[in-house]
């Protein structure tokens, strides 16, 4: 939802009413279809339908035309009172609506209905006054969705649409989406051969190709160097563990839906890990810790597995196997605020280095009334949320608060971005955990040799997962990575075969100095070789002919198309200096 949009805004009411318009059109064209829900989302709306046959692109055209007819009909949209008999008649044909109706009644809420023409829907509003106000919409796609987002429930079909207050705003957004598609990380990743998705491997399980692995390794190398300087120690833990570990950590049952089903072995029940933290807690607690050891910062590039619904998977941005830039900081209550501050500063350092500027922070809070979702320790929740809020204020960071978005064990600070399509995504996260100390009996000996059980744990992943982070990098740079990250930094190409030996020797020398170089000695024109290298988004394209070989110089073309003649030694010095400065 747009940041400046709320339920009472005109745009929100237009989008909400457009969802009803969609449902009205579908019901008129396909009377046997049952309705699910139709909320407002960022840029527009969707509506879920229960139908045996899949909606086709041709169906969407028919639905869109019917919606336009209903706009022209200028039907009033109003809250209506249905008699008990009419309510019963409506719910008899709408099993999903009946379920929602009964839930509202069980909570002591009065179900309300809205109507336009002969169409009726269970809804709390608000809406515009007339369908004639809904001219500026378009339907975009159909996807699968589980009822109430639960894979145990029936699968529905979700029709998405955009809606705006004016034709100009709608056209502008459609143009933005068209432009954004050019920079979609999936498209660029395919063109540059960075990663691949194979049906035989499975959805949400990307395979890193050599060039993508190069970028991934450079990001990891930078993080290892940065965090070593910040006092982190590194560990490595298994990809699976016994059920008892995840029961103790609370991931079972709190997070069971996000984990893969168990595997029954001859010595017990095992789960693929969805988090590294339980393993790190065991590492901390394997011996008595002194207060002098705190804060203890344990880091790992651990792969974890999340049982994401197939319909939510999106390239690298949402996957089922995640390479996490993960760490857990074990500290005293007095050290929490300073450690949180250090982590947020590290995030800012990373983002500045990588060139990210448009982001904001979200303080994700718990809900004291949802004890089935969050650990029931109200005092700890109050203290932890105050600490995070204080650090955000101290560092003067732009942030918003979001209720009911915390982890089950404590509040967190998420770093929010918008991808090229304008969709909000979470990148980094910093979570404060006050439950692990009890579950894993975390303690330390204080200065008087007395055992202190107040060990707080900070979960942090400044670079998110490699998958999501690199998706954002691809879209940020549009595939034209800075030199230090670029899979191919220099492409050497020869004019004729007799220049090959010189080029091969030069390539070997560059490789020895740590420059990622490729050699193009194909029997093709130099123009074709250059065009090929430009499409590959190579940083420096180097042409070698007789003149360059004689003078031991190079004709170097950069990404802006600027060409200069430079000695081989000067060029290599320039490249190495640029790499070291992470330009």
What distance in Å separates the CA atoms of residue 266 and residue 254, rounded to the nearest whole number?
Answer: 26
> What's the full length of the chain, in residues?
583
Cβ neighbours around 133 below 10 Å, total? 18
Mean pLDDT of 414-432: 85
Grouping H, G, I as helix, E, B as strand and the rest as coil, residue 138 is strand
Grouping H, G, I as helix, E, B as strand and the rest as coil, residue 183 is coil
Least trusted range by pLDDT, from 289-298, 416-425, 439-448, 567-576: 416-425
In this structure, what are the phi and psi dihedrals at residue 367, rounded to the nearest 5 degrees?
Answer: -135, 115
CA-to-CA separations, 43 to 1, 180, 421, in angstroms, rounded:
7, 15, 10
Spatial contact of 499 and 544, defined as CB atoms under 8 Å apart: yes
What distance in Å separates the CA atoms of residue 381 and residue 406, rounded to the nearest whole number?
Answer: 10
Helix or strand (DSSP H, E) at 564: strand 563-567
- Greater confidence (402 vs 233) lies with 233
pLDDT tens-place string over residues 370-399: 766 777 777 778 888 888 999 999 999 989
Cβ neighbours around 320 below 10 Å, total? 20
Domains in the chain (CATH in brackets) are 10-182 (3.30.980.10), 190-477 (3.30.930.10), 490-580 (3.40.50.800)
Bond from prior residue into 253 cis (ω within 30 degrees of 0): yes
* 367 has pLDDT over 80: no
pLDDT tens-place string over residues 481-506: 999 999 999 999 999 999 999 999 99
pLDDT tens-place string over residues 493-542: 999 999 999 999 999 999 999 999 999 999 899 999 999 999 999 999 99
pTM of the shown model: 0.82
For the chain, give me the number of helices (H) and strands (E)? 18, 28
Question: Which residues are bridge partners to 491 per DSSP?
Answer: 518, 541
**What's the mean per-residue pLDDT of the chain?**
91
In this structure, what are the phi and psi dihedrals at residue 205, rounded to the nearest 5 degrees?
Answer: -125, 80
Please give the structure tokens belonging to residue 512: 């020895």
- Greater confidence (402 vs 236) lies with 236
Helix axes 378-394, 336-354, angle to 10 degrees: 50
* 574 has pLDDT over 80: yes
Which of these, 42, 6, 14, lies nearest to 164 by C-alpha position? Answer: 14
């Amino acid at each position: 939802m747009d940041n400046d949009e709320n339920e009472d805004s005109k745009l929100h009411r237009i989008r909400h009413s457009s969802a009803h318009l969609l449902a009205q059109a579908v019901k008129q064209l396909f009377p046997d279809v049952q309705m699910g829900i139709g909320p407002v989302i960022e840029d527009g709306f969707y509506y879920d339908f229960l139908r045996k046959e899949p909606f086709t692109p041709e169906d969407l055209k028919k639905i869109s035309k019917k919606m336009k007819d209903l706009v022209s009909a200028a039907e009033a949209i109003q809250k209506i009172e249905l008699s008990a008999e009419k309510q019963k008649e409506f719910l008899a044909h709408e099993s999903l609506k009946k379920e929602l109706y009964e839930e509202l009644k069980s909570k002591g809420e009065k179900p309300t209905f809205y109507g336009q023409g002969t169409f009726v829907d269970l809804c709390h509003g608000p809406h515009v006054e007339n369908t004639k106000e809904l001219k500026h919409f378009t339907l975009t796609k159909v996807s699968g969705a589980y009822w109430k987002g639960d894979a145990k429930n029936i699968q529905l079909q979700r029709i998405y649409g955009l809606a705006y207050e004016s034709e100009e705003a709608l056209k502008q957004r459609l143009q933005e989406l068209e432009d954004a598609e050019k920079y979609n990380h999936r498209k660029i990743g395919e063109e540059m051969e960075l990663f691949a998705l194979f049906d035989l491997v499975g959805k949400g399980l990307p395979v890193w190709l050599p060039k993508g692995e190069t970028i991934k390794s450079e990001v990891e190398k930078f993080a290892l160097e940065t965090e070593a300087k910040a006092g982190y120690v590194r560990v490595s833990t298994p990809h699976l563990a016994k059920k008892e570990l995840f029961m103790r950590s609370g991931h079972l049952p709190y997070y069971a839906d996000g984990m893969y089903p168990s595997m029954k072995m001859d010595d017990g029940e095992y789960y693929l890990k969805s988090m590294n933290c339980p393993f790190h807690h065991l590492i901390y607690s394997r011996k008595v810790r002194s207060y002098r050891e705190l804060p203890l910062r344990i880091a790992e590039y651990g792969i974890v597995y999340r049982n994401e619904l197939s319909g939510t998977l999106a390239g690298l941005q949402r996957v089922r196997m995640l390479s996490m830039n993960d760490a857990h900081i074990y500290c005293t209550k007095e050290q929490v605020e300073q450690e949180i501050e250090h982590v947020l500063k590290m995030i800012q350092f990373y983002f500045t280095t990588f060139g990210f500027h448009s982001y904001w922070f979200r303080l994700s809070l718990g809900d004291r009334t949802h004890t089935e979702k969050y650990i029931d320790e109200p005092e700890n929740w109050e203290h932890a949320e105050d600490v995070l809020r204080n650090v955000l204020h101290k560092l003067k960071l732009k942030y918003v608060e979001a209720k009911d978005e915390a982890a089950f064990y404590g509040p967190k600070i998420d770093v929010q971005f918008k991808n090229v399509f304008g969709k909000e995504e979470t990148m980094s996260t910093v979570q404060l955990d006050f439950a692990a100390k009890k579950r894993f009996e975390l303690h330390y000996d204080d200065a008087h040799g007395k055992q202190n059980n107040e060990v707080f744990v900070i979960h942090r992943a400044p670079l998110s997962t490699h998958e999501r982070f690199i998706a954002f990098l691809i879209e940020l740079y549009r595939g034209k990575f800075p030199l230090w990250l670029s899979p191919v930094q220099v492409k050497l190409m020869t004019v004729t075969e007799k220049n090959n030996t010189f080029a091969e020797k030069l390539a070997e020398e560059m490789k020895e100095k740590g420059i990622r170089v490729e050699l193009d000695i194909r029997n093709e024109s130099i123009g074709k070789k250059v065009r090929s290298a430009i499409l590959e988004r190579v940083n420096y394209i180097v042409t070698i002919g007789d003149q360059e070989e004689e003078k031991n110089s190079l004709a170097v073309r950069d990404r802006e198309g600027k060409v200069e003649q430079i000695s081989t030694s000067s060029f290599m010095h320039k490249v190495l200096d640029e790499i070291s400065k992470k330009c």
